[in-house]
Amino acid sequence: MQLDVICRKAADGIRAIGQWQLAEQHKVRATDVELKDHNSLVSYVDRESERRLAEHLQRLWPGCGFLTEEETVDQRACDVRWIIDPLDGTT
Going by C-alpha positions, the residue among 10, 22, 20 that lies closest to residue 56 is 10
The answer, as to whether pTM is greater than 0.75, is yes
**Helix, strand, coil abundance in the chain, percent, nearest 5:** 45, 20, 35
CA torsion angle 45 50 56 61 (round to 10) = 170
Q: Is 81 helix (H, G, I), strand (E, B) or coil?
A: strand
Is the per-residue pLDDT at 80 higher than 90? Answer: no
pLDDT digits (tens, 9 = 90+) for 53-67: 999 999 999 988 888
Q: Is 23 helix (H, G, I), strand (E, B) or coil?
A: helix
Question: Distance between CA 47 and CA 87 in Å, rounded?
Answer: 9
pLDDT band at residue 6 under the 50/70/90 scheme: very high
